[in-house]
Amino acid sequence: MKKFNRREFLKKAKTMSAGIAVSGLSNDTIENFFVNRLPQKKKVSIRSYRDLGNTGFKVSDISCGACRINNAAIVRYAVDRGVNYFDTASFYGQSEKFISEALKEKRKDVFIATKSNIWKFKSPFELKKNIMKSIENSLKNLRTDYLDCYQIWIANVEKMRIGEVHEAFENAKKEGKVRYFGITNHSADVGDVIKQSLNDDLLNSLTIGYHYLSKKGVSDYVKKAAKKGKSIVAMKTLLGAYLAKIPNWENEQPSFGENFESLSNRRKILLYNEYKNSDKKKFNIDFLLSAQKWVLSNPDINTIIQTFRTFEDVDDYLQASGEKFGYRDKEVLDDYVALVWDKYCRIGCDSCHSSCPGGVPINDILRFQMYFENYGDKRMAVDGYSGLPPDKLGDKCYDCIDALCQKACPYGLAIKERIIKTHEVLSKMEIT
Ligand code: SF4
Ligand code: SF4
């Protein structure tokens, strides 16, 4: 019998699954069939659990950010390997439904945090109603009686201070619909947001952008929040995830003969290395591990959320669980940083924040560009960009002669050109 290597096997599985689908078997059954027969790499499980703030819950150090979950089988695969924290949202496509399908037997063993886009409102009263409605909606999607955590999405200090937000949260808590509340933030004001949460006992959970290049001030605030018993969840740990974009770096457009964007990071790297046949050190999967190990070397971080799009993503990310950050990891990260130095707009950076006379939210817009170009996530990019105030969009840059922002960026990013490009793409794009 012909033996297939992993790549050939997956290719064959893809072709065969199209045939089986018409036979009435569910996609999950098909996925599981093939996954169980893959020539397996070493299966990795969670090796370390940490206190999730003062909740009493022991959380896996690597968790699932479910924004691109497209299959309940991947959620089950992650849970079977010990992942027990899921961060989702009502606007992440079918994510809440897949989580509910996968976790119905394990509801009490897992922690589910969700959020909604409730920020289009005409009065604070309407906002309060939006929150209550969105909680009900998530309970229904997740087919559960309670949410472990409901979060203020892209929180800023202004949103955190709205009395009606607190009233809605208190009501939901009294009715037993939500156990904890929190915020998510990956913008330049992350320090202010953490600071604001320190005096707000209702906001227990902080999901924040945190990575190797985060400023020390952010770590200092994280320490203070941890001392207060807040849960600290790190996201955007991969410094722009330029791995996914490698073929574009040097204007190379190799044809891999497969749908490159839909592949796991590991597959992309392997294919790229095959193509390039050199310099594996810099583009190695080690980067994923080193970046995560650095974040986890901070004992105040309770868990990292990662996007599991494929079974291989779960295997790859979990390799960092319980691992120590060492000298070799630093070398890998420094190599990566050297490559992305003038490309990566640091999540949470505010160095150019006050330089723009028009108040263009540079860090946010370049994050949407990252979603689009590096993550290949058009929906998240367009949703984010269309949510900005109309007078703060990138068209302001057309007539800006001085481009003071570029002088303010210590890393030399071509901000003006990139913001114009992002505006031209995202303002015209429609997502159905
Ligand atoms: S180019 Fe001008 S308008 Fe655009 S972000 Fe920079 S300073 Fe602001
Ligand atoms: S453009 Fe430069 S200074 Fe501005 S937020 Fe990004 S990395 Fe920081």
pLDDT in tens, 317-368: 999 999 999 988 888 888 778 778 888 999 988 899 899 999 999 999 999 9
More confident residue, 369 or 378: 369
Q: Whose CA is nearest to atom 3 of ligand 2?
A: 409
Q: What band does 15 get if pLDDT is binned at 50, 70 and 90?
A: very low
Q: Which of 363, 398, 405 for a ligand 1 pocket mutation test, highest count of atoms within 8 Å of Cβ?
A: 405
Q: Which residue has the higher pLDDT, 272 or 145?
A: 145
Phi, then psi, of 150 in degrees rounded to 5:
-120, 130
- Ligand closest to Cα of 186 equals 2
Spell out which residues line ligand 2, taking CB within 6 angstroms: 345-346, 349, 351-352, 362-363, 366, 409, 411, 413, 415
Mutate which of 351, 405, 415, 420 for ligand 2? The one with the most ligand atoms within 8 Å of its CB, which is 351
Asked if residue 124 belongs to a domain, the reply is: yes
pLDDT at residue 264, as a whole number: 64
Q: Tell me: do 146 and 233 sit in the same domain.
A: yes
Q: What is the pLDDT of residue 262?
A: 62
Residues 152 and 70 in one domain: yes
pLDDT at 122: 78
Domain containing 204: what range?
27-242+280-328
pLDDT tens digits, 254-302: 444 445 556 666 666 665 555 555 444 344 567 888 999 999 999 999 9
Q: Provide the CB-side half-sphere exposure for 168 (13 A, CA).
A: 24
Check if the beta carbon of residue 190 is closer than 8 Å to that of residue 218.
yes
Quick check: is 291 in a domain? yes
Say if residue 87 is in the same domain as residue 231.
Answer: yes
DSSP string computed for 316-379:
HHHTTTTPPP-HHHHHHHHHHHHHHTTT---TT--TTTTT-TT---HHHHHHHHHHHHTS--HH
Q: What is the mean pLDDT of residues 376-383?
A: 84
Q: Is the pLDDT of residue 84 over 90?
A: yes
What is the residue type of 320? A
**243-247, 286-290, 306-310, 381-385 — which is least confidently predicted?**
243-247
Per the model's pLDDT, the better-predicted residue between 276 and 432 turns out to be 432
Task: Enumerate residues 6+ apart whose C-beta is below 8 A from 88.
Answer: 66, 67, 69, 95, 96, 99, 112, 113, 114, 142
Kindly state whether residues 322 and 363 are assigned to the same domain: no
Give the binding-site residues of ligand 1, using a 6 Å CB cut-off.
356, 358, 360, 362, 396-397, 400, 403-405, 415-416, 419
Q: Is residue 269 part of a domain?
A: no
Closest CA to 190 of 350, 389, 355, 371: 350
Residues 414, 288 within the same domain: no
The radius of gyration computed from the CA coordinates of the chain, to the nearest angstrom, equals 22
Residue 119: pLDDT band with limits 50, 70, 90? confident
Contact yes or no for 257/233 (Cβ under 8 A): no
Question: What is the per-residue burial (b if ≥16 Cβ within 10 Å, else e) of 345-376?
Answer: bbbbbbbbbebbeeebbbbbbbbbbbbbbbbb
Whether residues 323 and 360 fall in one domain: no
Q: At CA 260, angle to CA 213 and CA 20, rounded to 5?
A: 130
Between 281 and 314, where is the model more confident? 314
C-alpha–C-alpha distance, residues 192 and 160, integer Å: 11
pLDDT at 316 exceeding the cut of 50: yes
> What's the domain count of the chain?
2
Segment among 30-44, 148-162, 207-221, 417-431 with least mean pLDDT: 30-44
Average pLDDT, the chain: 83
Domain annotation covers residue 266: no
- 8 Å CB contact between 75 and 57: no
Backbone φ, ψ for residue 92 (5° rounding): -90, 55
Flag whether pLDDT at 32 surpasses 60.
Answer: no
Query: Do 235 and 368 sit in the same domain of this protein?
Result: no
Of residues 374, 370, 348, the one with CA closest to residue 419: 370
Residues 367 and 324 in one domain: no
Q: Which of 3-12, 79-88, 122-131, 292-301 has the lowest mean pLDDT?
A: 3-12
Distance 232 CA to ligand 2 centre (A): 24
Cβ proximity of 149 and 113 under 8 Å = yes
* 290 and 159 within one domain: yes
State the DSSP code for 401: S
| Residue 11 in domain | no
Is residue 175 a contact partner of residue 150, using CB atoms and an 8 Å limit? Answer: no
- In the predicted model, is pLDDT for residue 132 greater than 90? yes
Q: Are residues 291 and 385 in the same domain?
A: no
- pLDDT at 308 exceeding the cut of 70: yes
| Euclidean distance between CA atoms 125 and 136, whole angstroms | 17
Q: Is position 184 within any domain?
A: yes
* 324 and 369 fall within a common domain: no
CA dist 302 and 233 (Å) reads: 6
Place of tokens 């955590």: 149
Clarify whether residues 293 and 177 are in a common domain.
yes
Q: What is the pLDDT of residue 380?
A: 85
Residues 6+ apart with CB under 8 A from 226: 53, 232, 300
Kindly report, residue by residue over 418-429, the tens digit of the pLDDT: 999 999 999 988
Does residue 391 lie within any of the structural domains? yes
Give the CATH number, domain containing residue 49. 3.20.20.100
**What is d(CA 192, CA 200) in angstroms, rounded to the nearest whole number?**
13
Is 431 a domain residue? no
Q: Considering the chain, what percentage of its residues have pLDDT values greater than 90?
A: 56
3-state secondary structure of 66: helix
| Environment class of 202 (CB within 10 Å of its CB; exposed 0-12, middle 13-18, buried 19+) | middle
Q: pTM for this structure? A: 0.82
Which one is predicted more confidently, 162 or 37? 162
Residue 202, both tokens: 């209702």
The mean pLDDT value for 32-59 works out to: 76
